Amino acid sequence: MLYGKDTPQTREARSMSEEGGFGITAAEKFFGIILVIVGILATYFTFTSSNVLSIYTGFFGFLSIFLLALGIFLIIAKAE
């Protein structure tokens, strides 16, 4: 071992730090769900008010679909 003795305590601490924890995975999934909801709402309101947005419809449509895709990616991705 590089930094000292390999005791049961150091092995346990090393295995605990490599697990990552459930909280990070849950937070990532929760944030993904929030982004999906915001992306759906933004997409809906962008395309239903396209006559008011006129030339900016494409820009806001892209941003809202990007939020939706990012949220889906966060839900699907596996936290390491």
Distances (CA, A) of 13 to 25, 55, 79, 80: 20, 57, 20, 17
Rounded-to-integer distance, Cα 51 and Cα 3, Å:
66
Work out the percent of the chain whose per-residue pLDDT is above 90: 61
Are 45 and 68 spatial neighbours (Cβ–Cβ below 8 Å)? no
DSSP state, residue 55:
G
Q: How far apart are CA 37 and CA 42, in angstroms?
A: 9
pLDDT of residue 8: 63
Mean pLDDT of the chain: 84
